[in-house]
Amino acid sequence: MNAKHSRLRTLTFILVAFMLGCNEFMVVGILSDIAKSYHASLSSIGILVTAFALVYAISTPILTTLTSHWNRRTLLLLLMGIFFASNTLTALAPSLGWLFAARIMTALVAGTIITMINLFASIVTPFDKRPMVMAWVGAGFSIASVVGVPIGSAIAAWLSWHASFWMVSGLTVIVFGLLVWLIPSEKPEATGSVIEQLQLLKDHKVLMGIGITIAVMGVQYTFYTYIRTIITSVLGYNISTLNWLLFMLGVMSIIGNQIAGMIAKNNGFKKLPIVFSLLIIACLSLGVALQNKYTGILVLAILCTLTIIYGTTIQLGFMDEAAKNYPQSLALATSLISIFSNVGISLGSFSASTTVRFFNLNYVGYVSAIYAVIALLISLKLRKATRNDFK
């Protein structure tokens, strides 16, 4: 495949991540619209985020390991078809029960889709370009928060929240066509039994990477689950300003992804404790910062940047460890970020809901700081464990 097609293939990988990010994150921006349409409380609809993340986290390793002997191209296209059907069902959902069923169906396949995309991206990309390509695939999710979430919110305000999901279904058709054209048909990695693949999860460095992933996503979703409410009700910005601020926060996430790629190029594990120390400071300052609309949005922007930076280093660490010691587990290694990010999202969204129920949104920063401290402590141990890998 020539250079032009290689760039287009990389762009397609980014579009898949963007599509999945729109589907997952867009709900955060339209929670209040969904609650209103079904005459439900905001806290009960917030459980939709938790349920999606839990199903995502549980189903991804199961589906990834059970389908390890399938042709990867065939599997990816099949999962994309299921994703299209479930997202369209979300758009059509006539009741809250149908909505939950559609979201669970989507969660069942979304994790394995991004696993296949990361796997293909790592296989077809030259080794020296992997950090930045993987960072850009990760940026697809951030771009979804920059463009997809504000557009989803705007469409929900202009038409309805159902129309926001119709937009994702249209994008899915385009992406499916590109994948049919550009994805190679070969089966790119060694396979093993389910038990053999799960040996990866006994590795102490992998377990520490998993712990960091859960903790950082706990940080992010403790404040991000109710980001729209924080911006409007706590900071006092009006609805017309909301989408511009969400756009700005998404831009900061993209910047975080690019920093992640640069850090991962040269022993990112050495630098992660610095990132998490800064994250703790930002979390602890959030409660005070929210007393003012300008300092509040500034600290939120810093948080959106810092919570992204860890990802590329941890993702490549998982894949490199699998390639060296567990080649039969490469697909599973590729899925770990997706799996355990959603465990962290579940914890974070539950923490946010609990904080709102018993205190108020001004306290979410202090709860986030607990997760950030955990990430720092684990990263210090991981830096020591990986020291010999970079000598």
> pLDDT digit string (tens) for 33-43?
888 888 777 66
Pull the structure tokens for residue 268: 């990112």
Whole-number pLDDT of residue 320:
87
Whole-number pLDDT of residue 97:
85
Rounded distance, CA 135 to CA 262, Å?
9
Rounded distance, CA 91 to CA 165, Å?
5
Distance of CA 82 to the CA centre of its chain: 20
DSSP-derived letter for residue 191 is: -
Whole-number pLDDT of residue 1:
53
DSSP H helices, the chain, are 3-29, 31-37, 42-66, 72-92, 96-124, 130-143, 149-158, 161-182, 194-197, 204-224, 227-229, 239-264, 268-289, 293-306, 311-325, 330-358, 364-385
Q: What is the pTM of this model?
A: 0.79
SS3 call for 200: helix
Whole-number pLDDT of residue 335:
81
Q: Which residue has tokens 């905001």?
A: 42
Helix or strand run (H / E) with residue 193: none
Whole-number pLDDT of residue 205:
93
Rounded distance, CA 257 to CA 347, Å?
23
Nearest 5°: the CA angle 274, 130, 199 is: 80
Are residues 205 and 382 in contact, defined by beta-carbon separation less than 8 angstroms? yes
Pull the structure tokens for residue 114: 């991004």
* Amino acid symbol at 17: A
Are residues 357 and 75 in contact, defined by beta-carbon separation less than 8 angstroms? no
Rounded distance, CA 261 to CA 259, Å?
5
Are residues 223 and 368 in contact, defined by beta-carbon separation less than 8 angstroms? yes
Whole-number pLDDT of residue 86:
95
Whole-number pLDDT of residue 190:
56
Rounded distance, CA 133 to CA 125, Å?
8
Rounded distance, CA 339 to CA 193, Å?
20
Nearest 5°: the CA angle 192, 195, 200 is: 85
* Amino acid symbol at 83: F
Kindly list the averaged pLDDT for each block of 10 residues, start to end, along the chain of length 391: 73 91 81 79 74 84 83 91 95 87 92 88 76 82 74 80 90 94 67 76 93 94 85 88 84 88 85 96 94 94 93 89 85 82 85 83 89 96 80 52
